[in-house]
Amino acid sequence: MMQRLPRRLRAAVLLAALALAVAACSGGGDDGGPDATATTAAAADRPSSPAKLTIETPRQGQTVDQDRAQLILALDGGKIVNQTTTRIQGDEGHIHLHVDGKLVDMNYGLRQRLPQLPPGQHVVQVEFVAADHAPFDPRVLTQAAFKVAG
């Protein structure tokens, strides 16, 4: 079948197969191999941020009556920018919102409604990330567990 393919396509297929074979053989994890080095290098390249992020509401342990609770954040030492860029600065970024371990929003504000939640215990986790949507090092992250009344 390879004989029927044009020469350039055959070369591309062979290159792709070789890349897959090298990737499969390189392993990964904590054995100090190439993946561990790349991960360490990537983490070292991330900027730090002077920002401090806090959740004003819902507060830790609070019970809220409505099923679409208001999320209010405070951000000190940083500012939210609307533009996504790879020219990152430690004091500029976006907000990533997780509810019960799932990413529900990547936004550009400090106030918003949470998604509709059933009665019971929930955890909101919020992170101030760089303008390229990747985390700072160390991460600027906070969370609060709260209850939606039934």
pLDDT tens across 48-72, in order? 999 999 999 999 999 998 878 899 9
- Whether 129 and 96 have beta carbons less than 8 Å apart is answered as yes
Domain identity same for 107 and 38:
no
Tell me what pLDDT residue 91 has.
97
Domain identity same for 81 and 137:
yes
Per-residue confidence band for 44, with pLDDT thresholds at 50, 70 and 90: low
Domain that holds residue 6: 2-44
- Of the candidates 60, 67, 68, the one whose C-alpha atom is nearest the C-alpha of residue 126 is 60
Q: Hey, is 25 helix, strand or coil?
A: helix
Number of domains observed in the structure of the chain: 2
Beta carbons within 8 Å of 92's beta carbon, 6+ residues apart: 78, 79, 80, 81, 130, 131
Residue 114 has pLDDT above 90, yes or no: yes
Domain identity same for 106 and 40:
no
Q: What is the DSSP letter of 60?
A: T
Q: Report CA-CA distances (Å) from 31 to 26, 39, 41, 85, 101.
A: 10, 12, 15, 34, 29
Q: CA 85 to CA 93: how far, in whole Å?
A: 9
Query: Average pLDDT of 13-29?
Result: 37
Residue 138 has pLDDT above 60, yes or no: yes
Domain identity same for 141 and 78:
yes
Residues in the chain: 150
| Cβ density class 127-138: b for 16+ within 10 Å, e for less | bbbbbeeebbbe
What's the mean pLDDT when you consider all of the chain? 79
Q: Is the pTM of this model over 0.75?
A: no
Domain identity same for 77 and 119:
yes
Residue 19 has pLDDT above 70, yes or no: no
